[in-house]
Structure 1
Amino acid sequence: MSHRTIPTSQRLLDVRYEIRGELARRARDLEAQGRRLIKLNIGNPGAFGFRAPAHLQAAITEHLEASDPYCHQQGLEESRLAVASQHIRRGAQGVSPQRVFIGNGVSELIDLSLRALLNPGDEVLLPSPDYPLWSAATILNGGTPVYYDCLPENGFQADPAQIEASITPHTRALVLINPNNPSGASYSRELLGQLVEIARHHRLLLLADEIYDGIVYDGAAFEPIAPLAGDHPCLSFGGLSKVHRACGYRVGWGVLSGDPARAAEYQHALDLLGALRLCANVPGQWAIPAALNGPDTIGTLTAPGGRLYESRRAVIEACERSAFLSLVAPAGALYAFPGVDVDKVPGFDDHRFALDLLESEGVLIVPGSSFNVPYRHHFRVTLLPEAEQVREVFARIERALSRWAPADSSRHVA
């Protein structure tokens, strides 16, 4: 008797998520064999010893008895009020608790936001590099990703002229990731203002992934785009996962700002999709008011002497000492995106190198091409390990690159 395999969706053929993909599966195989690995592929604070702040934990504990029923599909009223108040304080227009949507992390809300928007063949402007969930969600919801370059030689900043030249009659939305994952770029108020004017002129929905809004370094400032957008429709995303080190709570939010009349149908579509999945995780939502109205717990980590700052400095210094690496110092977020000098390492390929580094040195990184860039000589690491471990990781990376390079390129490497 023949056994026919179950066919899968053709849309999955164009979907990649190497952050938890083939290399991560190989890492699990090696660990099962007893290998000890240093895994820098995921921005998961709890895996590196960080804890969610105590006042968030207490808020959940105090409300457990009230967490058994479903809540409103958009989220707990108290939590939506806290999110709306934060955005009103920032200067966003048209924001109310009725325009806040709480989800099981920003990941779920990205999917819902694109599902509510797209018809087959619609285009979404995405940064390159991007967080690959944005590309995947666009494809899985029938859309077409169109990438605008954020090049390392330009500090990974967006080019407004290229963005505008990429717009067609099928373009529906402009996505910003600020601060950016994977590059760590932070966008200036001037640049954001230019992007707002492009979106306004071409009637594009602004989708602003701002999950790293409180994580900036060396005087860089986070600029939310909603206040600059004014009455223009904008959906801004935030959550507890990164700034509040609570990834496992699975709590994110999306906030619609701008003229309510212009986005009324879209708001209804988001509400419908939220109702279809019933509601987000209720216990975690109780932590939202505590997080947004409580003390700042990220500033000491990103300031000089703080753990994230010192790990970032260790990456910067390692790249400066390297015979092979260059780096645009991350201004925000939890990652660095070093580049390899292909003149010194001819034939370098990011995926083959990542696999070799895993097998030979026990370090798991993410190939840069996983973030939808056209080049293959970058890789991403997270800044979450202690600085000492970061230095050890880059010593191993340098050793591996020395093996890849011709002898005369690496002879001065210690």
Structure 2
Amino acid sequence: MEKSASNWGVAAVPDSWNFKPNERLLGLMSLSVRGVLARIKAEMVAAGGGGGRPVIPMGHGDPSAFPCFRTAPEAVDAVAGALQSGEYNSYSTCVGLEPARRSIAQYLSRDLPYELSLDDVYLTNGCAQAIEIICSVLARPGANILLPRPGYKFYEARAVFNGMEVRYYDLLPGKDWEVDTDGVQALADKNTVAIVIINPGNPCGNVYSYEHLAKVAETARKLGIFVIADEAYAHLTFGERKFVPMGVFGAVAPVITLGSLSKRWLVPGWRLGWIVTNDPSGVFQRTKVAASIRTYHYICSDPTTFVQGAVPNLLENSKEEFFQKTIKILKESADICWEKLNGINGVTCPSRPMGSMFVMVKLDLSCLQDIKDDMDFCCRLAKEESVVVLPGRVVGCKDWLRITFAIDPSSLEDGLDRLKSFCLRHSKPAQ
């Protein structure tokens, strides 16, 4: 006997379904570094790559795959010891284990004019979750947030997802990517809640001076907003300017610092980050921002407990030699990048990188033929040369490129030579 849907107990298909996806999610892939790089790599694979040569990844900031960028052995020992102890197999407390938070407070206080306490520290699954939490905490109806352009678009993705308005202020390439504070004041209104600064800079490789950070703090104070200081690349500096934490100015305007182990210790996969309130005047307590951050931790996931358990030993025992070695390689790579980019027709690098792992490069499409824009440039470069760089539109600047130099120096030289060959091949004939 033929079996019908009713014989199997399958309900008839309704005329329409009541569910549909969150519409805000559907357009956010274009704001994702991972999403755009995945698209470029997929097109490269489909086209057969650049003659079977090894792919050179100059588009993302994860140097940990290269042997010259291995983490400190003391960090590995700290995590292995925490795991083997059997003391960290349980759930964590919602804002993080007290010994880890206390150690991070002490570690960050070294660079501040006041002492942080463990209650100022909230642990997160890397900086990405820290951004998610802050955007969720601030997302009241009508609120807007000021973000840098160029900048890290994950802030926009999280803000838009939470229903916030995003307003972009400019970084000034002719002034080492300083904040356009006049532009900030023109953008802000009574619904502006915070300004984000990224220092050392992703994607620009800049490092802000003490004086410029003081100016940003005074601007925030004048506007009645606080500063979100993304310091994921803290202390990764190799130029004349040393890293100054924004928390130094916490008494001028309250500061929320976002940081992690990921970059300085070269362990992005360990997913241990933090939110820190730098607020000696107690503004975050009075406005209940601190209470909201704590409350959000009750409805989100925790960092892995044994990594939290490793933090005190990791911070105490990591040797200065490890950090200096990382800085030495980054400086060498940044110098290679600066010098080689200046010899390539069709691209312009406005300033020598002084920190982080990136540099911004402007495309001159008038010098190139058959290249429509930055996305086309990156896709064709990947297909022809097996070199992956990030289109500038992903960080807010169309017809620019973001290039990471945090790969081993020999691979970087090869990648930049291939970039030069690509530009020569696509250069317009001399008139």
| Equivalent residues of 2:172, 2:178 under 8 A apart | yes
- The one-letter code of the counterpart of 1:287 is A
Contact 2:247 2:255 in 1 (8 A): yes
Query: CA distance change for structure 1 residues 22 and 218 in 2, over 3 Å: closer, same or farther?
Result: closer
Gaps of at least 5 residues in structure 1 are: 410-414
Aligned to 1:24: 38
- The one-letter code of the counterpart of 1:300 is K
Query: Are 1:164 and 2:185 matched, yes or no?
Result: yes
Amino acid at match of 1:60: V
The residue aligned with 2:134 is 113
Backbone CA RMSD of aligned residues: 2.2
**1:315 equivalent in structure 2:** 337
Matches within 5 A, 1:115-154: 115-154=136-175
- The TM-score, its normalising length taken from structure 2, stands at 0.88
Query: Which of 368, 373, 376 is the matching residue for 1:349?
Result: 373
Quote how far apart the aligned CAs of 1:14 are.
Answer: 4.7
Task: List per-residue Cα deviations over 1:112-144 (Å, max 9, x = no partner).
Answer: 011111213311111101111111111111111
Q: 2:389 aligns with which of 362, 365, 368?
A: 365
Give % identity.
Answer: 26
Q: Counterparts of 2:346 and 2:216 in 1: how far apart (Å)?
A: 35
Q: After TM superposition, which residue ranges in structure 1, 4 or more long, deviate above 6 angstroms?
A: 1-6
SS in 2 for 1:216: coil
Q: Which runs of 5+ in 2 are unaligned?
A: 1-12
Match of 1:391 among 413, 416, 430: 413
Deviations 1:200-251 (A, max 9, x none): 1221121000010110112221111111222632110111100110111101
CA contact (8 A) 1:109 1:252 kept: yes
Cα–Cα, structure 1 residues 229 and 260, in superposed 2: closer, same or farther, change >3 Å? closer
Query: Which residue type is aligned with residue 163 of structure 1?
Result: V
Give the 3-state SS of the residue equivalent to 1:74 in structure 2.
coil
Q: Is the 8 A contact 1:103 1:281 kept in 2?
A: no
Which residue in 1 is equivalent to 2:62? Answer: 44
What secondary structure does 2:155 align onto? helix
Relative to 1, partners in 2 of residues 1:54 and 1:115: Cα closer, same or farther, differing over 3 Å? same
Displacement, 1:3?
9.3
Aligned residues: 404
Q: Which moved more, 1:178-187 or 1:227-236?
A: 227-236
Corresponding position of 2:7 = none
Conserved in 2, the CA contact under 8 Å of 1:94 and 1:231? no
| Alignment-derived partner of residue 93 in structure 2 | 72
Q: Distance in 1 between matches of 2:109 and 2:429?
A: 59
Q: Which has the larger radius of gyration?
A: 2
1:67-104 CA deviation, whole Å, 9 max, x = no partner? 11111111111111111112322225473101200101
Residues 101 and 151 of structure 1: CA distance in aligned 2, closer, same or farther (over 3 Å): same
Equivalent residue number for residue 63 of structure 1: 82
Match of 2:254 among 228, 233, 238: 233
Amino acid at match of 1:241: S
For residues 84 and 338 of structure 1, the distance between their equivalents in structure 2, rounded to whole angstroms, comes to 37
| Cα pair 1:235 1:255 within 8 Å, conserved | yes
CA distance in 2, matches of 1:393, 1:399: 10
Deviations 1:236-288 (A, max 9, x none): 01111001101111011111011464212111111111121252211222332
- The alpha-carbon distance between structure 1 residues 231 and 98, as it changes in their structure 2 partners (threshold 3 A), is farther
Matched, 1:300 2:342: no
